Structure 1
Amino acid sequence: MSDSLRNKVVVITGASSGIGHSIALESAGRGATVILIARNKAKLEKVASEAHELSGADSYTIVTDMSQSDQIDAAFTKIIRLTKHVDYLVNCAGFGKFENFVESNRREVTAMFQVNVLGLMYFSRLAGRLMMEQKSGQIINIGSIAGKVPTVKSAAYSASKAAVIQFSNVLRLELKPFGVKVMTVNPGPVYTNFFNIADKSGHYADSVQKFMLDPDDVAWQVVHFFGSNKRELNLPVSLAILAKLYNLFPTIGDKVSLKFASRK
């Protein structure tokens, strides 16, 4: 533990579980004031209590559905009242579902894009404006290796994460002149409750055990790069290499994906 984030404000969406939960505690462990955003009030309050014990600093909760723009507006208004400034925004909220796209439910796909993409974009827009005025700050968007390397039964989810990655690339260019940084984090599979929704059969989670990341390890790396000029963090290294190779040799990459990476 350290005081490297003392007097810094870290806003985290999707903070009630998974990577968001771990980033909240890692930030608090370094002294940050955290503002936690998710839909589940009870879970948020538990994370806030844990964070306060670690930091001794304020820990706030704002119950928000990231698919609803009016709730995002209300949440940001509360943030301004609470702290007046934001040093880091970490957009972790998101979900996926593994199924053949032709069998997918239109409403579920729409909901996925509302949360994974549009909610993230809208929140980043509000935070970006504030950070431009501050002439400082950093937005960290959680993408996915799935947004770089295609696998079967993930068309909608992969498309949403590819959108996050490209949105972040453009936002980085637009905010750079104002001293505001943007980083994308693209993890492979992570031990979280994500798979409770995305992979109810459990087959995919079992098949990618050797690539599974611990959310606490992901959080440590993300927070380690707070304030840095790093544009993209791809995890684990083996899948980061695979993503680069796919771009260089896409035809071979498709064959490899069908044989080894599409075990859903």
Structure 2
Amino acid sequence: MKKILKGKKILITGSSNGIGMYLAIHVAGKGGEPILVSRSINKLRIIKDIIEKKYDVPVHCYEADLADDQMWKDVLQSIFLDHGSLDAVINNAGVGKFDAVNESNWNDIEQMISVNIRAAFRATYETLPYLIEQRRGHIINIGSQSGKMATPKSAVYSATKHAIIGYSNALRMEAEPYGVYVTTVNLGPVKTDFFQNADPTGKYEKAVQKIMLQPNQVAREIVQTLFVPKREMDRPVWMDLGSRCYQVYPSLFETLLSSQFNKK
């Protein structure tokens, strides 16, 4: 296996399961050093042991609640003290809760804003100066097709992902002159634990299970984009085409797809 990421230090948030866990595996498989961040430090240590035995590369683990901005800032500073520099940041951590706005819980709203937006902004704010100084690097932000095409019961979640897409688009233009790439990954439903919190009833997951993406495949494709000047990665392709059409004819699509949109 070609070690195209040999010696590259890749920070991955939300890496104790799902896409984040597979990102760590694929980074290590290509010779990179995963730097893993999650609230679940025990899970990270298990992943670390498995990866180090299989790929013979160092894996570094840090415990942080990304909803706590001060804690996250302190952990980022610790990472730089320990490693001196980074080569890439994958802002993968995210949470969602599917509720109508009038039925939502304010704590859920704050958590989505804190984890999905502020934590990604903080990671970028703290790491970008180093990437600019070394005049190379890559920031990958996990957005969502929901950030392009909002649906009922996902007002706040869609808004957070819309923010990530807009932020990334501006950041890309700012960072490009310094050799730093910025890529947004916009995904449809992925078969992870995300839906256990987003919709505990299981109704939405059941409704979309036939079209769900596999986290292992998604992670493999994301890692393949590292250090490639790619603007966006959109999956599945057919959903991306739908969201593009929606942006041109929003009223028409909201009418035609109302029953599909209301499956949450």
Alignment TM-score, normalising by the size of structure 2:
0.97
Aligned-residue offset at 1:54 = 3.2
- 2:82 corresponds to which residue? 82
State the partner residue of 1:197. 197
User: Contact conserved, 1:90 with 1:141, CA < 8 A, in 2?
Assistant: yes
Q: Secondary structure at the match of 1:58?
A: coil
Which amino acid is the alignment partner of residue 180 of structure 2?
A: V
Q: Which residue of 1 aligns with 2:242?
A: 242
Q: What residue is the counterpart of 1:49 in the other structure? A: 49
Q: Distance in 2 between matches of 1:54 and 1:166?
A: 38
Farther-moved stretch of structure 1 (79-88 vs 5-14): 79-88
Question: Distance in 2 between the 1:249 and 1:129 partners?
Answer: 40
Residue type of the partner of 1:226? Answer: L
In 2, distance between residues paired with 1:63 and 1:248? Answer: 43
The equivalences for 1:29-178 within 5 A come to 29-178=29-178
Amino acid paired to 1:202 = G
* Displacement after TM superposition at 1:257 (Å): 3.3
CA–CA separation in structure 2 for the residues paired with 1:201 and 1:69: 31
- Name the amino acid aligned to 1:110: E
**1:176 positional shift:** 1.1
Task: Answer yes or no: is the 8 Å Cα contact 1:25–1:50 preserved in 2.
Answer: no
Q: Could you tell me how far apart the structure 2 residues matched to 1:164 and 1:152 are?
A: 19
Structure 1 residues 43 and 256: alpha-carbon distance in aligned structure 2, compared to 1, 3 A threshold = farther
Mapped contact 2:95–2:111 kept (Cα < 8 A):
no
**Structure 1 contact 131–180 (Cα < 8 Å) conserved:** yes
**Partners in 2 of 1:104 and 1:22 — Cα distance?**
32
- Name the CA distance, whole Å, in 2 between partners of 1:245 and 1:120: 28
In the alignment of these two chains, the number of paired residues is 264
CA separation in 2, counterparts of 1:52 and 1:2?
A: 17
**Hey, what's the Cα distance between the residues in 2 that align with 1:79 and 1:183?**
22
* Contact map agreement 2:28 2:34 (CA 8 A) in 1: yes
State the Cα RMSD in Å: 1.1
Inter-partner Cα distance in structure 2 for 1:4 and 1:263: 42
For 1:179, the equivalent position in structure 2 comes to 179
Q: Mean alpha-carbon deviation: is it higher for 25-34 or for 65-74?
A: 65-74
3-state secondary structure, aligned to 1:4: coil
**Partner Cα separation in structure 1 for residue 98 and residue 2 of structure 2:** 40
* Equivalent residue, structure 2, for 1:263: 263
Q: Secondary structure at the match of 1:240?
A: helix
What per-residue deviation string (whole Å, max 9, x for no partner) do you get for residues 154-188 of structure 1?
11111111111111111111111111110000110
